[in-house]
A and B are shown apart, each in its own frame.
Chain A
Amino acid sequence: MERQSGTAPTPPYHHLEETLAQLESQAQELEQRVSDNLDALLSNLAETAQLRGWNVCRAANPEAAIGYVESVVTGLKVGQVVRSAQEVFDQVPVALALQNLGISVIAIARDDQQTRDQLRNEIIASGVGITGADYAVSETGSVVVMPRLGLSRLVSLVPPVHIALVRAQDVVESLDDVFLLRRLEYHRNGGDMGSYLNFITGPSRTADIEQTLVVGVHGPKEVHMVLLE
C-alpha cells in the first residue's frame, strides 16, 4: 500500500478540532454535573457493578472499608497480598491492618533495589491484588486503572482476586466522561496520556464452550469494589 499524503476532510472532523480550552470547559461541566448528582451516581454504580459480577461494599468510612478488606483476605486464607502505590492507600491504611493480621503486603513500586522481575515474582506469588481506581464509571459498573509509576498492569490481573478501592471523587457517570478526561490529559501533555488503560467490569469470564458461562478464566475469578463514601 502506497503511503501518500491523505486528504484532510472538509469540513474538518469536529472532535479533532476541539481546542484545549473547549475540552477544559467541558471537563468543568462534567465535574459540576458529577458533584451535583453524586449520591445517585454512587447508588447507580453500586447497583450496576453488582449486576456485572462485582462484590460491592459501600463503606461509610475508612474503618468500614478496612474491615471489609480484612474479612475478604482472611476468608481467602492467603499469606501474601500485593497492592499498587496510589493515594487512596494513605487515606485507607489497609496495608498496616493486614500486616497486623500476619499477612504480607507488598507494594508494587520499584525503588533502587528492586527490579521489575522481582516485583513480578511477588505478584505471581500473591493471592490478592489491591488497587485504587483512577475512575469508576456508573453507566457500566467499571473501574478504570491506568498503569504508571506505582501502578503495575499485573497487580489487578494475575492474582485470582482483585480488590478495587473507589473514592467518591473517582466516580464519573459515563464512558463519554472518561474519554473526555483522557483526551484532555492527552492534549494538555502535547500528546501523551500514558501507555495503557484498562476498564475492568467484573470478573474474568468465558462462554466459549457450548455458550455456557464460566467465571474466572485467565483474569481474576473474584472482584471486589469498595466504595468509600
Chain B
Amino acid sequence: MPQVKTQDFFDASALSIKDPELRQALQRVGTGFDKARREAIDEVSAEVWEQWREVARQIKEHTIDHLDYYLELLHDNVNKNGGQVHFARDAEQANAIVADLVKSKGVKIVTKGKSMVSEELSLNHVLEGLGTEVYETDLGEYIIQLADETPSHLVAPALHKTKAQVAQLFTDNLGVPYTDDIEEMARVAREALRGKFLAADMGITGANFLVAETGSLVIITNEGNGRLCTSAPRIHVGITGMEKVIPSLHDLAVFLRLLPRSATGQRLTSYMSMVSGPRREADEDGPEEFHLVIVDNGRSKMLADPKLRESLYCIRCGACLNICPVYQKVGGHAYGWVYPGPIGAIVTPSLVGLKQAKDLPFASSLCGACREVCPVKINIPRMLLHLRQELTENSEPTVNSIPAWESILARCYTAIMNHPTLLSMGTKLLKLLQMPLARNGRIQRVPFAPLSRWTHSRDLPALPKRPFREIWRQELSGPNQSHQ
C-alpha cells in the first residue's frame, strides 16, 4: 500500500496553491481536457449524450446490485477461455498472487500498462523487491516511475510535470542529451522501451471493463503500449478492481462512447483491445497464459453501504477532476493517496479509512459540477455530505473539532436570531457603533481585524436608517393594506 498522506491535505494543498509551475500545468486541464470533452458532447448533441449517460447508469446500477452473480459468470467464462481467475481480498493477497506467478514462472522482465489498482497495491515495489525489472510503459507512468512519484491524475499521471522537468528526468535517467522538444521526448521513450516490450516475460495491465458474458478484459489506450503488453510477453496478467464488470458484450458499446469523450474529448482512443483468454493453439503469437486478478481491497465495504455503493459505478474517466475547482487549484498529490479529485474524496476515505482521510470530504464547495459531468451520473456531492455526516456524528470530538471562537459565534448568532427583542437591540447598538465608519450607506474601512482584512478590498453595506422590520410594521402591513 503506498504511503497514506491524506492527513496532510490542508498543508499539502496550501503548498500546491503557491507552486506556479503546478498551477500552470493544472490550468491546462480546464482549457485542454474539459474543453475537448464539451466539444465532443456538442458533436453528438446534449440529448444523445444524456441518453447514453442514462443507459450506462442503468447498466452499472444493475450490475453492482448483482455483483457476486456477474463476477461468478465472468470467472466461469474466463476459465472457459483458458484463462485463470484469482480473487484477492486485499493488497497483500493481490501482491502475493502476482509475486507467486513471477517466481514460479521465472519472470525477469515485466512491462506494465497503466493500472490505478496496481498503485493501491504498490505492486511495482513488491516485484522489484523480488529482483524483477519492472517497466511502466504508458508515457505518463514511465515519467513518474523515473521520478519515483505517484500519479497525480487518473488519466494523465504526469500532468503536474512541465516539459522541462521531463527533459531533465530523461537526461538524468536515460543519459540522453537534454531536449524539451515533446516529439523528441516521445521518440526517446519509444526507443528506450522498445527492447523491453519485446524481451518481457510478463505483461501486466489494468482493465477498463470486464465482460461477464464472454469472459473478456477490455482496455482502451492510445500509445500502443497496452497492445504490446498484452501481445508480446508469454504471460499476461490483468489486475482490476472487482467493480469493473459489465454483463454483456452488447453493453460495452455505450461505455466506449462515454469514456474516451469524458476523459480526453476523443471520440475513441487509438486502440481498444479485448482479451478473451490466452492465445489459441493456432494463433501466430500472443501470451500462453492469461491471469485475471480481481481485487477487493475495501470495495466490498462500499458495496455493502447503500449510500456509498454508487461510487463503484465510476469508470475512471477523470472528468470530475478536470471540472473540480478544488482539484484545479491543488492538483492530485495534495489528496495524499491514489485517487484524487471528487471521486477520490469518496473512494480514498472508503479504502484507507475515514478518520485517516477526514479532510477529503471537506475538500469541496459542493458546487455539483462533478455530478453534472459524470458519465454515469454519480451523485458525488450527496456522498460527500454523507461522509461529512459520518465524520461529525460518529467520531470523537477531537477528530473534527471546530475552533472555539466559531462555536461561540454560532451560539451567539442563534440566540440573537431566535429573539426578536435581542435582534432589535443588537441592530440599534450596531447603528450607533457604525456612525463613525459609515459614509453614503457604505463602510469602506474597519480599523481592526478581522474586518480590516475584509474591507481591504471590499466595502461593507452600512445598516440602513430604517430597518425593513420597521417599514413593514409601519407602512406595509397596516389594516388598510392587503396581504395574504
Chain A residues with a Cβ under 8 A of chain B: 1, 3-9, 13, 15-16, 52, 108-110, 116, 119-120, 124, 140-142, 147-154, 157, 174-176, 179-180, 182-183, 186, 191-212, 214, 216-220
Q: Name the A residues within 8 Å of B231 (CB-CB).
A: 147, 153-154, 157, 196
| A7 to B253 alpha-carbon distance, docked (Å) | 26
Chain B residues, CB < 8 A from A116? 284-285
Check if B224 sits within 8 Å of A13, measured CB to CB.
no
30 A-B pairs with CB atoms under 8 Å apart are A1-B87, A3-B87, A8-B66, A52-B267, A120-B285, A124-B198, A141-B268, A147-B279, A148-B280, A148-B283, A152-B285, A153-B284, A154-B285, A186-B249, A192-B80, A195-B283, A196-B273, A196-B283, A198-B227, A198-B274, A204-B224, A206-B223, A208-B157, A211-B29, A211-B156, A217-B224, A217-B225, A218-B194, A219-B271, A220-B224
Question: Which of A110, A183, A193, A195 is packed against the most chain B CB atoms within 10 Å?
Answer: A195
Contacting residues of chain B (242-284) with chain A, CB-CB under 8 angstroms: 242, 247-253, 256-257, 264, 267-280, 282-284
Cβ–Cβ < 8 Å partners of A208 in chain B: 138-140, 143, 156-158
Q: Is the CB of B230 within 8 A of A196?
A: yes
Q: SS class of chain A's interface: helix, strand, loop or mixed?
A: loop
What 1/0 mask marks residues of chain B from 290 to 313 whose CB sits below 8 Å from any chain A CB? Answer: 000000100010000000000000
Whether A198 pairs with B272 at a CB distance below 8 angstroms is yes
Q: When the two chains form the complex, which single residue of A110, A183, A209 contacts B158, counting CB atoms closer than 8 Å?
A: A209
Task: Fill in one digit per residue for B191-221: 1 if any A CB lies within 8 Å of its CB, else 0.
Answer: 0011001100000000000000110000000
B248 nearest in chain A by CB position: A15
Contact B272 A199 (CB under 8 A): yes
* A218: B residues at CB distance < 8 A: 137, 190, 193-194, 197, 223-225, 227-228
A191–B213 Cα distance when bound, in Å, is 9
Counted as pairs of residues, one from A and one from B, with CB atoms less than 8 Å apart, the total is 231
Q: Which residue of B lies closest to A53 (CB)?
A: B270
Contacts of B194 in A (CB 8 A): 218
Please state if A1 and B248 are interface contacts (CB–CB under 8 Å). Answer: no
B441 near A: Cβ within 8 Å?
A: no
Does A7 contact B186, Cβ atoms closer than 8 Å? no
A205 touches B222 (CB 8 A): yes
> B247's contact among A13, A108, A154, A220, by CB below 8 Å, is which?
A13
Bound-state CA distance A20–B387 (Å) is 47
Q: Does B89 contact A (CB under 8 A)?
A: yes
Nearest chain B residue, comparing its CB with the CB of A124: B198
Contacts of A194 in B (CB 8 A): 276, 280
Distance in angstroms from A146 CB to nearest chain B CB is: 9
- Point out the residues of chain B lying under 8 angstroms from A16, CB to CB: 213, 247-248
Task: Please determine whether B182 and A197 come into contact, CB atoms closer than 8 angstroms.
Answer: no
Among B140, B143, B252, B253, residue most surrounded by chain A Cβ atoms (within 10 Å): B253
A155 to B214, CA, bound (A): 25
At the interface, yes or no: B32 with Cβ under 8 Å from chain A?
A: yes
Q: Could you tell me if B223 and A204 are in contact, using CB atoms closer than 8 angstroms?
A: yes
Q: How far is the CA of A171 from the CA of B244 in the complex (A)?
A: 30
Chain A residues in 8 Å Cβ range of B279 = 147, 195-196
- Identify which of B213, B267, B278 contacts A140 (C-beta below 8 A): B267
